[in-house]
Amino acid sequence: MDKTAASKRFLSKVTSRPSGGVTTDDWDWLWQNESTPWVSESVHPVLEEYINDLTLGKENLRLLVPLCGNSVDLKWLVDRGHQVVGVEVSQKAIAQFLTEHGLEHDVQPVKEIENARVHTTCNGRLQIYDCDFFALSRDVIGSFNGVWDKGALVAIPPDMRKRFVSCTLCLRLSVCLCLSIYLHFHLYVYLYVSACLSVCPSVCLCM
């Protein structure tokens, strides 16, 4: 069976699950078998259009990109003057990103998380954590001014989505904006406020 047929069979199995979503093992399989049709060589157009809503026009913000894959959005955000932290469980995706962009970097173990590593570029503006997103805490990864999620919440199984939001909230600063892409290309901009533990939709646009 060729790669295309194998990928179609695998994706059919995943999408037919009652629970939906992609597990960590699924994600790793997709990258190992180069079945990643969502990967683009261009910056996501929604991020380009709404970057000022995410950053409020400011520079040097600390931005989180969960389940980042090898997205060019990481470097684009760095080039715009921000400190960017990606989280990705696929070592292949991380290696591809660093190689494709010719980024010299240092690799260190994350002492608090078993088998986890963090890749840090020489200028310190970009870090990519090679680990399970749910294993992270503010003590490990710090806090953030903003979050760019172009599909992480949709990709994970539905029964884990509430936990994903809770983990993200734990990493926020007092005011943290989140730009997210969901099913049917709906865009939600969420305002995270320290006084509450829920996510309050502030803008909703249909793409």
pLDDT of residue 5: 58
β-pairing verdict for 186-193 and 172-181: antiparallel
**What is the spatial distance between Cα 23 and Cα 188, in angstroms, rounded to a whole number?**
24
pLDDT of residue 175: 63
pLDDT of residue 38: 76
pLDDT of residue 80: 96
pTM of the model: 0.79
SS (H, E, C) 97-132: HHHHCCCCEEEEECCCCCCCEEEEECCCCEEEEECC
Per-residue pLDDT of the chain (207 residues; tens, 9 = 90+): 455 555 555 555 555 555 556 777 777 777 777 777 777 889 999 899 999 989 999 999 999 999 999 999 999 999 999 999 999 999 999 999 999 999 999 999 999 999 999 999 999 999 999 999 999 999 999 999 999 998 888 788 888 888 888 888 889 876 667 887 654 434 333 333 332 333 433 332 223
**Burial (CB count <10 Å: 0-12, 13-18, 19+), residue 174:** exposed
**What is the spatial distance between Cα 190 and Cα 200, in angstroms, rounded to a whole number?**
6
pLDDT of residue 60: 95
pLDDT of residue 206: 28
